[in-house]
Amino acid sequence: MAGKIQPIEVQRELTKIKHPELKKDIVSLGMVASLEIGEEETNILVKTPNQDRRVQIGLEAQIRQILSKKEGIGKIKIKFEVDPKLQLNDSNRIVGVQKVIAIGSGKGGVGKSTVTVNLAAAAAAQGYKVGVMDADIYGPSIGKMFGINGRVALKAEEDKIYPLEKDGLKIISFSFLIDEKQPVVWRGPMLGKAVEQFLYDIVWGDLDFLFIDLPPGTGDVQLSLAQLIDLDGAVLVTTPQSVALLDANRAASMFQQVKVPILGVVENMSEFVCPNCGHSTPIFSQGGGKILAQGTDAKFLGGIPLTMDLMNAGESGKPLVFQDPNGKVAQAYKNVLENLREEIKKWE
């Protein structure tokens, strides 16, 4: 004989029901005021901020449909109570995630994914709870940079997916779900839906930072993110040369148009450090990152040198910040993280 169903089990079922306007489940919104479960009768009190019968009827139908399939639940009685004090949170936040930071560039080839991985590693090394989302659907590379190659099986429960955990970070990438040789041929609506699932169907748990590695350009994925979630800000990655600055400026304009704060600029490959003598040599123009920061009224977060160790770390699958925590590159990322934290405080 099956055991008595517990309230927590019923709550889990109710998390599948989303408010039609706010797009969040009724449990997270605090609408389920009380549950009294019995084999003969189950009473549910649902609070709403207003007397909108259309919404109430729709929610009631969903509740009955879901719970009628469960054993140990008697006749379902649902009562709606209008509570004017109930302020539904209509912000698009991920439950448990404190800060969501997008890492963008406007173009490919500037080392944006390398910056994302090592910035996340620098935060984790300082004790923060960190997640990394690879939103580059067409060319996901975050998995490889953490040593996760090919398609992998993700733990899934109750229509939710759990990210992989590696080196103390929680990681999700489209590369985990598709064959690495399989091309992704998706149009805009499919991309938007995929991004929504990666944001809200992933069980991130409690995180201090979620870093999102964006694809190059200013297309559907970037716009979907801006519409689906309240980003706490964006970090622009560029290399010093003028061609990279052109595209980075386009990315900056896009973030400004969708009201996402630009927290700062990271200049990647600012100089090349010789592995033999340690001498630093600029391999592009100089000062591009600072020029971009000035032009976008953003803070210059710092420059990241290019080293042989950094390139090898990208291939080996372990971020250089973890491999050489006291090295020049790791120190550069620590400085970027500290500047980023200061900028985040200004926008709070």
Pick from 131, 124, 121, 143: nearest CA to 97: 131
State both tokens at 309. 């160790």
pLDDT at 44 over 90: yes
Average pLDDT over residues 247-255: 83
Is 7-82 CATH 3.90.400.10?
Answer: no
Is 97-346 CATH 3.40.50.300?
Answer: yes
Q: Does residue 121 or residue 251 have the better pLDDT?
A: 121
Q: Does residue 272 or residue 303 have the better pLDDT?
A: 303
Confidence of residue 46 (pLDDT cuts 50, 70, 90): very high
Q: Does residue 85 or residue 206 have the better pLDDT?
A: 206
Annotated binding site: 106-113
Annotated binding site for ATP: 106-113
Per-residue pLDDT tens over the stretch 67-92: 888 888 889 999 999 987 776 655 67
Per-residue pLDDT tens over the stretch 130-168: 999 988 776 678 888 898 876 676 776 666 788 899 999
pLDDT at 2 over 50: no
pLDDT value of position 332: 96
The 3-class SS string of the chain reads CCCCCCHHHHHHHHCCCECCCCCCECCCCCCEEEEECCCCEEEEEEEECCCCHHHHHHHHHHHHHHHCCCCCCCEEEEEEEECCCCCCCCCCCCCCEEEEEEEECCCCCCCHHHHHHHHHHHHHHCCCCEEEEECCCCCCCHHHHCCCCCCCCCCEECCEECCEEECCEEEEEHHHCCCCCCCCCCCHHHHHHHHHHHHHCECCCCEEEEEEECCCCCCHHHHHHHHHCCCCEEEEEECCCHHHHHHHHHHHHHHHHCCCCEEEEEEEEEEEECCCCCCEECCCCCCHHHHHHHHCCCCEEEEEEECHHHHHHHHHCCCHHHHCCCCHHHHHHHHHHHHHHHHHHHHC
pLDDT at 307 over 70: yes
pLDDT value of position 1: 38
Per-residue pLDDT tens over the stretch 263-292: 999 999 988 888 888 888 887 778 888 888
pLDDT over 90 percentage in the chain: 33
pLDDT value of position 233: 93
pLDDT value of position 305: 93
pLDDT at 184 over 70: no
Q: Does residue 96 or residue 331 have the better pLDDT?
A: 331
Whole-structure pTM value: 0.73
Q: Which of 20-24, 191-195, 203-207 has the highest mean pLDDT?
A: 203-207
pLDDT at 197 over 90: no
pLDDT value of position 217: 62
pLDDT value of position 79: 94
Domain ranges of the chain: 7-82, 97-346
327, amino acid identity: G
Mean pLDDT over each residue of the chain, to the nearest integer: 84
**Range in 72-76, 166-170, 227-231, 317-321 the model is least confident about:** 227-231
Q: Which of 94-98, 150-154, 193-197, 301-305 has the highest mean pLDDT?
A: 301-305
